[in-house]
């Protein structure tokens, strides 16, 4: 069963509907203890990272996620803000301590010209490591949908498994052990996004 973390922020129901369309059992986890009842975890999110961290901490999800994701090593998918909060720290609206699952910082996009806008909203061509099982069945240079102003900068390049260009090389996906996370929204990326979600369902890290 897939458990989607409901901490009060995020693209909850579009993610739920995408997994349901793929024929898998899905549970909305509105309480930390719900996470113990699922086999795989999805951490979605849109909005400000300061609020994301605050709600995860206040609702008891930070500790529960550490138990289920880090200690028990359940396969876990982060989406958009759900990916960014997995970093060590974020510099969005000040400096914030995040979950710390990746040795990484969250920094503002810097395209370096006035033509490319921030936030970046729309479809972008993603370059990825086609040896990664989460990208199985995708052709090179596939297009995915993004909406963001900040990106994750990892210190270990091997953990960055997909990128795209926006005046600079931007992190599109990261991966370590049982954790895979995307800056793009697979649930909004039509058939290609559904392929990524289906690969997550079948992933055996």
**Which residues are part of the catalytic machinery?**
80, 185, 187
Buried b (16+ CB within 10 A) or exposed e, 157-177: eebbbbbbebeeebbbbbbbe
CB neighbours (10 Å) of residue 83? 29
Dihedral over Cα of 32, 47, 134, 177: its sign: negative
Tell me how far apart the alpha carbons of residues 105 and 45 are, in angstroms, rounded to a whole number.
17
Nearest Cα neighbor of 194 from 203, 185, 204 is 185
DSSP annotation of 178: T
Place of tokens 């649930």: 187
In Å, how far are 8, 88, 166, 176, 184 from 62, measured between CA atoms? 14, 13, 32, 18, 23
């Amino acid at each position: 069963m897939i458990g989607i973390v409901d901490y009060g922020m995020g693209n909850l129901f579009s993610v739920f509907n995408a997994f349901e369309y793929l024929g898998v059992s899905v549970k909305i986890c509105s309480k930390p203890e719900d996470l113990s009842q699922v086999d795989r975890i999805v951490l979605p999110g849109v909005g400000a990272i300061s609020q994301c961290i605050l709600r995860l901490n206040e609702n008891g999800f930070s500790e529960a996620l550490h138990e289920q994701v880090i200690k028990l090593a359940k396969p876990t998918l982060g989406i958009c803000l759900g990916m960014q909060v997995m970093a060590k720290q974020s510099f969005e609206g000040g400096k914030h301590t995040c979950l710390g699952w990746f040795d990484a910082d969250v920094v503002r996009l810097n395209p370096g010209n006035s033509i490319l806008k921030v936030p970046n909203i729309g479809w972008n061509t993603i370059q990825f490591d086609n040896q990664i099982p989460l990208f199985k069945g995708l052709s090179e240079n596939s297009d995915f949908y993004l909406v963001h102003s900040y990106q994750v900068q990892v210190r270990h390049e091997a953990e960055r498994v997909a990128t795209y260009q926006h005046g600079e090389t931007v992190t599109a996906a990261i991966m370590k052990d049982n954790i895979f996370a995307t800056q793009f929204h697979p649930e909004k990326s039509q058939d290609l996004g559904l392929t990524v979600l289906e690969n997550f369902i079948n992933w055996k890290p």
